[in-house]
Amino acid sequence: MIEKQSENFDNLEENVSEEVNKTEDPSIIENQTSEDKQSPELDDDNIYAEDLKNTITNNDARLEQLEKEHETLKSQYVRIAADFDNFRKRQSRDQDDLKVQLVSKALTAILPIVDNFERARQQLKPESEEAQTLHRSYQGLYKQLVEVLKQQGVSPMRVVAQQFDPKLHEAVVREPSQEFHEDIITEELQRGYHLEGKVLRHALVKVSMGPGQENSQEPEEKDKVEEDVDSENPISEEN
């Protein structure tokens, strides 16, 4: 019986030694340690991935918002730039119009002087040497005045034998003419002028009414027809 107990005791020691060996096996301990380490690392990776996903989502939303703001600012800039360009053009046009008005007013005041020079040139007939010298001096002044007007963009109208245009001409007299058809200008009474393509002063003109004989014959023919009608009436009464 004692032997049997000793065998049991030996078996118990062997089992205990095996358990101790198992627990002291470094490979087993290392595997357990690595598993314990991997579990928190996996949790950290999941948290990091989730945070990264949220950051990307927020950045996309922010980018979309910034793009909308950019488009809004761009449209405002384009509208402001267009308004400024229109304002600049309008200011430039107004300045040009004001300049033309001021120049026109000044030149219009000078034109009667030019008219007087031209009338004097037509009337003067220098015969003596002194008169010719005076005439040449007068012609020199007249040419200088005309040159100044040309430099300012003033040009005279040519109206004789032209079609009457109320935008350019002012009819003072309408008279019959054997030489010109109706509404053709026969004579220039006062010269008209252009300034940069615009009318500075209308030309005063005579306008043809057409051949005078044809106009004068119309009443005669009418009277003749009336006389014929009157001559036929007594005949009808007699019948």
> Tokens in use for 135?
């005439």
The C-alpha atoms of residue 223 and residue 53 are separated, in whole angstroms, by 111
* Secondary structure of residue 165 in the 3-state scheme: coil
The C-alpha atoms of residue 211 and residue 205 are separated, in whole angstroms, by 18
Angle in degrees, 0-180, between the axes of helices 26-123 and 129-151, rounded to the nearest 10 = 160
Give domain limits for the chain: 155-232
Question: Among 2.30.22.10, 2.40.50.140, 2.130.10.10, 3.40.50.1110, what is the CATH number of 155-232?
Answer: 2.30.22.10
pTM exceeds 0.75, yes or no: no
One digit per residue, pLDDT tens: the chain, 239 residues?
Answer: 545 445 554 555 555 455 545 444 555 445 555 555 555 556 667 777 777 888 888 888 888 889 888 999 989 999 999 999 999 999 998 888 888 888 888 889 999 988 888 888 777 777 777 778 877 888 888 889 889 999 988 999 999 999 999 999 999 999 998 888 999 999 999 999 998 888 999 999 999 998 865 444 444 444 444 444 344 444 333 33
Closest alpha carbon to 207 in 179, 187, 192: 187
DSSP 159: -
The C-alpha atoms of residue 238 and residue 236 are separated, in whole angstroms, by 5
